[in-house]
Amino acid sequence: MELELRHLRVVVAVADAGSIGAGARALGLDQPLVSRQLRRIESELGVALFHRDSGGATLTAAGAEFVQRARPLLDDVEELLLRARAATSPLRFGASALGVLAGELIDALDALVGTPVSAFTHHSSEHLLTQLASGELDLALVAEYEGTRLAFPAQARHLVLVESEPALVALAVGHPLAAKEPLQLADLRSEWWVLQGLAEDGEREAFTAACRAAGFTPRVRHVTDDVSFARRAVTSGQAVLTVLPQSVQREGYVLRTLEGDPLHRRLHLAWQPQRLPVVAEEMLASIRDVYGREAGANPAFERWWSEHGWPSQPPLRVAGSPLGG
């Protein structure tokens, strides 16, 4: 086996995280895969790079020297890639599930940076952050669910855009609960549910935990990523469905909020400071403006936003470095 840059990234990630599991999460890889790669790397080098025990993974003397030499190599390659891509490609924006909000954000970013912005959507926030870390994305809007914590790339800046964004529930217009607003999650204990097939990063677990906290185990009838099929399941009365708050209320179903927001997610914005062509405050103001305008996409979220939305521009707390980069 010949050592490649990806092998150096594995060693450095585990060293920075302090354990193989945490390093795997930072890389967006499975822990068994990272463990196997480390064993192969150590076999190729003929030395142990880590002491492994129940408390995690700590560097040996040989491992510390390896990381000390590998880190500047990775930094140099990262800078080379960023500079090369900056000269030939537009700003690359990644997002997890955002629905109609994603398109509005692209329009706003196009206008802000003055060049076309390309979009990459993926159901996994962890995957998007891996893309951000590798330089394949420049800016990412990602979701974090109750009970999980995202691992942000060390070189990226990030902040919380929305502390707690609620999920809404879609019900058929003829449903006995359609006239109630807000609903209690426990009101839905006897319902069948439609779930998203590609849910990752703790979304399914957070949903199940919230239902159990409300006193029931959700009954799942359909698992699908087909929007048309899910909509028909709701309008026909087969099942109910959680949806993004910016969803448009269409003929055949209504959208309702849940008392206390038991189903919610935190939205983070993360970016590569070297690739941001505008001042960070301008980008954040533009994105917040779009989010606030889209709060009126349906009556349920409009009412919720009027009570819980930003009373004024929230303070900017950026992790990673001063805001201006």
What average pLDDT does range 123-132 have in this prediction?
89
Q: How far apart are CA 274 and CA 83, in angstroms?
A: 9
Residue 16 has pLDDT above 50, yes or no: yes
Query: To the nearest 10°, the Cα dihedral for 187, 193, 198, 203?
Result: 20
Question: Is 75 exposed, middle or buried (CB count within 10 Å of its CB: 0-12, 13-18, 19+)?
Answer: exposed
CATH number of 166-256: 3.40.190.10
Residue 166 has pLDDT above 90, yes or no: yes
Q: How far apart are CA 285 and CA 171, in angstroms?
A: 34
What average pLDDT does range 271-288 have in this prediction?
84
| pTM for the full predicted model | 0.68
List every span in the chain annotated with CATH 1.10.10.10: 5-85
pLDDT of residue 12: 92
Please report, as a single letter, which amino acid is at residue 41.
Answer: I
List every span in the chain annotated with CATH 3.40.190.10: 86-164+265-308, 166-256
Closest Cα to residue 93, out of 266, 272, 241?
272
What average pLDDT does range 47-68 have in this prediction?
91
Question: Is 240 exposed, middle or buried (CB count within 10 Å of its CB: 0-12, 13-18, 19+)?
Answer: buried
**Who has greater pLDDT, 302 or 211?**
211
pLDDT of residue 147: 86
Q: What is the pLDDT of residues 93-123, one digit of tens each?
A: 998 866 667 778 888 888 888 888 888 888 8
Which of these ranges, 12-21, 67-76, 249-258, 290-299, has the smallest mean pLDDT? 290-299
| Class (C level, CATH) for 5-85 | mainly alpha
Q: How far apart are CA 94 and CA 130, in angstroms?
A: 11
Highest mean pLDDT among 77-81, 91-95, 166-170: 166-170
Residue with tokens 């900017």: 316
Q: How far apart are CA 133 and CA 297, in angstroms?
A: 33
Q: Which CATH superfamily is domain 86-164+265-308 in?
A: Periplasmic binding protein-like II (3.40.190.10)
What are the Cα distances from residue 169, in Å, to 166, 184, 210, 324? 10, 11, 14, 39
